[in-house]
Each structure stands twice: as structure tokens, then as C-alpha cells.
Amino acid sequence: MKYEIKGEPMPVVICQLEGGEAMVTERGSMVWMTPNMKMETGAGGVGKAFGRMFSGDSLFQNTYTAQGGPGMIAFASSFPGAIRAIQIDPAHPMVVQKRGFLASEQSVELSIFFQKKVGAGLFGGEGFIMQKLSGSGTAFVELDGSVVEYDLGPGESLVVDSGNLAMMDATCTMDIQMVKGVKNVLFGGEGLFNTVVTGPGRVVLQTMPASGVAAALAPFLNTGSK
């Protein structure tokens, strides 16, 4: 499989497949393809389907296969930002935000990522429910806004607003930290909790999560009668 990413800030990834090669996506991100790309929809097993449902994704996956020769298929971003290609192998799985997965080669496995610490599960909000990319192959991840990366050493931490955590190496750990101080909680405007990511590993942050944009626009979208 060969690919090309075009068109930021509303990017598309165009994949050129050899005959028999396949791509997998979980939502309606396909925007164009050659006629010989065959689509099949399936759940991929009860356990995997339940995990996708729990993480907020569809129960089903779409698999597109090039039949009778080379084929082309394109997947588009749903929000202004970037598409990043990441290489997955058994030694380097990645953890991504729940709506970050765009598409991948069929050899990449997508599953729910469970946090080991109870606090993360109870209070993590959007940032808690994440997905794990494992197996081997190329995966494409959708990131909102601009992208900033950090390489954390062992024990080195970064405090992040939950919606801004886009992706991290599976070697990193994540916990939830309550904002200190009553005045900070009541008047700081930053919510009750932050996400603490601890290395070792790479952390990828996004500057404009869709949830943040929605919250900023909400006061201006009141459709109630005056």
C-alpha cells in the first residue's frame, strides 16, 4: 500500500492498493474510490464489537478490498486539522483518542484501551475512553487543529486538558488529577480535572479538539425563541 496525504487543514489520505490489499475504517470517512474496490461490513467478533460500542464507535467496520488488480481509495478528515500516518508493529502499539482512528491496513487491530487506575475511569471524561492500535501495518489518525509532540522520559509527566490528548505510545500511563483550590475550580474555567500523562514514550497533542470548539460555539447557537 502506498499513500499520499493532501489538503490540510481539511486533509484527505489517498491510498493506492495492490490487488487483494484491503483497508479498514469504522465510520463514513471514505470519500472516493475506484470501481474495483469492494466494500464489506462486519462486526469482527462480539468482543471487538462490544469494545468499539463502549468506546463510542460503531459496532461495525467497513473493509474495502481491491479486486482484479490495483485500486485506489481516499479517506477524508471530518474536522479541520491533520491526518498522520503511524507505523504499528507488535513492539510499538499506539493509543489514540476515541474519534481519532480514520483507517488502517487490515493487519492493524483496533481495540478499546483500558486505564489501570480507577480515577481515570471515573473522571477522565472524553480523554479516558481511548483506543489501542496493535498488530502490524500502517494506520491513519485524524487530529484536530495543529499538532505538537513531546518525548517523555521515564517518570517524566505532562499535565494536559483531556480533550487535547490525541495520541500516545502504549508505554505511557495516564491518570486524572483534580484541579487544586476552590477558587480555581469555581472561577478558573478549566473544569474539575486534568489528564496527567507519564512517560516513557511519545505524546501527541492537538490544539483544537472538536469538543472544545463545540463548547465555545454553544452560547451562540441558542435556537430557542426570543
Express each pLDDT in 71-91 by its tens digit: 999 999 989 999 999 999 999
Residue 224 placed within a domain: no
Q: What is the pLDDT of residue 127?
A: 45
Total of domains in the chain: 1
**pTM greater than 0.75:** yes
Between the alpha carbon of residue 63 and those of residues 26, 112, 174, the distances in Å are: 9, 19, 32
| CATH classification of the domain holding 202 | 3.60.160.10
Residue 186 reports pLDDT greater than 50: no
Residue 19 lies in a domain: yes
Range of 141's domain? 2-216
Cβ–Cβ under 8 Å, residues 199 and 214: no
* CA distance from start to end of the chain: 55
- DSSP-H helix ranges across 16-165: 46-54, 118-123
What are the pLDDT digits (tens) for 198-208?
999 999 999 99
Q: Is residue 52 part of a domain?
A: yes
Residue 223 lies in a domain: no
Residue 60: band (very low, low, confident or very high) from pLDDT cuts 50, 70, 90 = confident
Identify which has the larger pLDDT, 113 or 30: 30
Q: Check pLDDT > 90 for residue 168.
A: yes
Q: Give me the helices (H) in the chain, please.
A: 46-54, 118-123, 182-187, 210-217
- Reduced to 3 states, what is the DSSP secondary structure of residue 134? strand
Position 175 in a domain: yes
- Cβ neighbours of residue 166 closer than 8 Å, sequence gap 6 or more: 96, 97, 100, 141, 143, 144, 147, 204, 205, 206
Mean pLDDT of 17-46: 88
Confidence of residue 144 (pLDDT cuts 50, 70, 90): very high
Work out whether strand 193-198 and strand 173-178 pair parallel, antiparallel, or are unpaired.
Answer: antiparallel
Q: Average pLDDT in the 102-115 region? A: 88
99: amino acid identity, one letter? R
How confident is the model over 50-62, as a mean pLDDT? 61
Query: Does some domain include residue 226?
Result: no
